[in-house]
Amino acid sequence: MVLKLINDIKPKHKHRVITLGYAVAVTSAFILSLTNNSSVNASVYSKEKTEYLMLENAVSESIEDTASLYPEDRILNIRSLFDTVYNYQRIHDYDKLITVKKGDTFISILNTLGLNYEEAHNLYTTFKKVYNPANIRVGQKILVSGQYDEELKKMTDIESIVIQENHIKSYALLKNKNGAFEAKVNQEELITEVNSATGSISGSLSKSMNSQGVPNKIVHEFIKIFSYSVDFRRDVRKGDKFEIIFENNITKDGKVASYGNILYAGLQLRNEKVSLYRFKDAKGNVDYYTEKGQAMKKTLHRKPLAFQNARISSPFGKRRHPIKKRWIIHWGVDYAAPKGTKIFAGGDGVVQVAKYNGGYGNYIKIRHNSEYSTAYGHIWKFAKGIKPGVRVKQGQVIAYVGSTGLSTGPHLHYEVIRNGKRINPTTIKAATGNNLTGKDLKKFKLLVSDIKSSYNKMFALKDSKKISKK
Ligand SMILES: [Zn+2]
Give me ligand 1 centre to Cα 350, in Å: 22
pLDDT in tens, 214-243: 999 999 999 888 876 677 777 788 999 999
Higher pLDDT: 329 or 466? It is 329
- CA triple 370-375-381, angle to 5 deg: 135
Name the pLDDT band for 285 (thresholds 50, 70, 90).
confident
Number of neighbours of residue 381 by Cβ within 10 angstroms: 13
pLDDT value at residue 394: 84
Mean pLDDT of 6-13: 46
Cβ atoms 394, 351 nearer than 8 A = no
| Distant-in-sequence, close-in-space partners of 427: CB < 8 Å, separation ≥ 6 | none
Give me ligand 1 centre to Cα 456, in Å: 42
Give me ligand 1 centre to Cα 334, in Å: 5
Q: Looking at the predicted structure, is the pLDDT value of residue 258 above 50?
A: yes
| Distant-in-sequence, close-in-space partners of 371: CB < 8 Å, separation ≥ 6 | 418, 419, 430, 432
Give me ligand 1 centre to Cα 413, in Å: 4
Residue type, 207: K
Q: Which domains does the chain have, with CATH numbers?
A: 2-91 (no CATH), 93-187 (3.10.450.350), 192-289 (3.10.450.350), 311-427 (2.70.70.10)
Give me ligand 1 centre to Cα 354, in Å: 17
Of residues 205, 277, 192, the one with CA closest to residue 236: 205
Give me ligand 1 centre to Cα 269, in Å: 27
Give me ligand 1 centre to Cα 424, in Å: 12
pLDDT value at residue 361: 96
Distance between CA atoms of residues 417 and 423, nearest Å: 6
pLDDT value at residue 56: 67
Give me ligand 1 centre to Cα 377, in Å: 7
Mean pLDDT of the chain: 81
Of the CA atoms within 13 Å of residue 64, those in its CB half-sphere come to 7
Of residues 273, 239, 275, 246, the one with CA closest to residue 260: 246
Please give, one letter per residue, the 3-state secondary structure of 21-73: CCCCCCCHHHHHHHHCCCCCCCCCCHHHHHHHHHHHHHHHHHHHHHHHCCHHH
Give me ligand 1 centre to Cα 318, in Å: 11
Query: Which H/E stretch holds residue 148?
Result: strand 141-149
